[in-house]
Amino acid sequence: MNIIERGACVTSSAMVFLLLLLLTPLQGYCHTFALPFYEPERIYYFMDEPVVTASRFSQPSSQAPSTVMVVTSKMIKERGYKCLVDVLEDLPGFDIHKHIGGQAGGTYVIQRGLWGNNKLLVLKDGIRLNPENGSNLVYGNQLSLGDLKQIEIMYGPSSAIYGADAYAGIINLITKKVKGPRHLEMEISGGNADTVEGHLLVQAKPTMDSFIHLYAHGFGSNGFDLHDIYDDYHYHHPILGKTHFYDPNETFEIPERDWDLSIKAGWKNLVFETVYLHTKQPTNIAAPFNTGRTQSSKDRVELDTWNFRLTHTLSLGKKLDAITMFKGQIYRMDPDSRYGRKQFNNYIYERSDMFGMEEQLRYSYKKGKIIGGFAFKRISTMPYLNSRSPFDEGDTYDEFPVKEIITEDGKHLPIGPFREYDYWTYGLYMQANHKLTDKLSLFAGARFDWETFTHHETCNPRTGIIYTIKKGETLRLMYGHAYISPSAYFRFKAWVDKNYAHLPPSVFGRNLDPEKVSSLEFSYSKHTKRLSFNIATYVSRSVDSIQEAGRFFKNVLMVSNEGTEKATVEVADNTGRVTNFGIDLAISYRLDRLAILNFGYSFINSRQHLRGHSFDGPKVSNHKVMAGITGYLGNHLSYNLRCRWRSEIHTSPYNTVYHGTTIPGIFLLDANLRWKDILPGLDAHLTMKNLLNSKYFTAANESGDPINGASLPRVPQDPFGFMMGISYRF
CATH of domain 3-721: 2.40.170.20
> Percentage of the chain surpassing pLDDT 90?
55
Alpha carbon distance 133, 381 (integer Å): 6
Q: Which of 130, 206, 26 is nearest to 484 (CA)?
A: 130
Q: Which of 462, 519, 613 is nearest to 112 (CA)?
A: 519
Cβ count within 10 A of residue 103: 24
Pairing of strands 682-689, 697-698: unpaired
Confidence of residue 383 (pLDDT cuts 50, 70, 90): confident
- Mean pLDDT value across residues 233-257: 72
Q: What is the DSSP string of 264-313?
A: EEEETTEEEEEEEEEEEEES-TT--GGGTB---TTSEEEEEEEEEEEEEE
Q: What is the DSSP string of 619-685?
A: T-BSEEEEEEEEEEETTTEEEEEEEEEE-PEE--TT-TTTTT-EE--EEEEEEEEEEEEEETTEEEE
Q: Check residue 348 and give its pLDDT.
A: 87
Q: Check residue 344 and give its pLDDT.
A: 67
CA dist 111 to 94, 97, 258, 615, 640, Å? 5, 12, 24, 18, 25
Confidence of residue 576 (pLDDT cuts 50, 70, 90): confident
Alpha carbon distance 400, 397 (integer Å): 7
Looking from the CA of 523 toward its CB, the CA atoms found within 13 Å total 33
Alpha carbon distance 104, 248 (integer Å): 25
Average pLDDT, the chain: 85
Alpha carbon distance 52, 461 (integer Å): 19
Q: Check residue 320 and give its pLDDT.
A: 95
- Mean pLDDT value across residues 33-37: 31
Residue 604 has pLDDT above 50, yes or no: yes
Q: What angle do CA 573, 578, 583 make, to 5 degrees?
A: 155
Tell me whether residue 695 is exposed, middle or buried, using C-beta atoms within 10 angstroms of its C-beta: 0 to 12, 13 to 18, 19 or more: middle
Cβ count within 10 A of residue 220: 16
Which residues, 6+ apart, have CB-to-CB distance to 381 below 8 Å? 132, 133, 350, 351, 352, 353, 420, 421, 488
Alpha carbon distance 433, 128 (integer Å): 24
Tens-digit pLDDT profile for residues 160-182: 999 988 999 999 999 999 988 99
Alpha carbon distance 97, 351 (integer Å): 26
Residue 363 has pLDDT above 90, yes or no: yes
Residue 221 has pLDDT above 90, yes or no: yes
Higher pLDDT, 337 or 32: 337
The continuous run of DSSP H or E covering 495 comes out as strand 495-497
CA dist 383 to 251, 281, 522, 555, 559, Å? 32, 20, 40, 27, 22
Three-class SS of residue 19? helix
531 in Cβ contact with 43 (< 8 Å)? no
Q: Check residue 21 and give its pLDDT.
A: 37
Residue 11 has pLDDT above 60, yes or no: no
Positive or negative torsion for Cα 46, 51, 56, 62:
positive
Confidence of residue 49 (pLDDT cuts 50, 70, 90): confident
Residue 489 has pLDDT above 90, yes or no: no
Residue 43 has pLDDT above 60, yes or no: no
For residue 587, give the amino acid letter.
I
Lowest mean pLDDT among 341-350, 355-364, 413-422: 341-350
- Mean pLDDT value across residues 27-39: 34
Buried-exposed string 129-147: b where 16+ CB fall within 10 A, e elsewhere: bbbbbbbbbbbbbbbbbbb
* Beta-bridge partner residues of 635: none
- Mean pLDDT value across residues 306-327: 95
696 in Cβ contact with 718 (< 8 Å)? no
Residue 41 has pLDDT above 60, yes or no: no
Q: Check residue 712 and give its pLDDT.
A: 63
Tell me whether residue 389 is exposed, middle or buried, using C-beta atoms within 10 angstroms of its C-beta: 0 to 12, 13 to 18, 19 or more: exposed
Confidence of residue 492 (pLDDT cuts 50, 70, 90): confident
Domain boundary assignment for the chain: 3-721
567 in Cβ contact with 500 (< 8 Å)? yes
Higher pLDDT, 238 or 388: 388
Lowest mean pLDDT among 507-511, 521-525, 598-602: 507-511
367 in Cβ contact with 415 (< 8 Å)? no
CA dist 556 to 166, 499, 552, 570, 599, Å? 38, 10, 10, 11, 55
Cβ count within 10 A of residue 578: 21
For residue 447, give the amino acid letter.
R
Positive or negative torsion for Cα 29, 31, 35, 38:
positive
Residue 26 has pLDDT above 50, yes or no: no
Q: What dihedral do alpha carbons 265, 266, 270, 274 form, nearest 10°?
A: 20
pTM of the shown model: 0.91
Lowest mean pLDDT among 57-66, 91-100, 163-172, 569-578: 57-66
For residue 433, give the amino acid letter.
N
Q: Which of 435, 311, 273 is nearest to 56 (CA)?
A: 311
Residue 3 has pLDDT above 90, yes or no: no
Confidence of residue 343 (pLDDT cuts 50, 70, 90): low
Q: Check residue 184 and give its pLDDT.
A: 95
Q: What angle do CA 295, 708, 249 make, to 5 degrees?
A: 35
Confidence of residue 690 (pLDDT cuts 50, 70, 90): very high
Buried-exposed string 242-255: b where 16+ CB fall within 10 A, e elsewhere: ebbbbbeeeebbbb
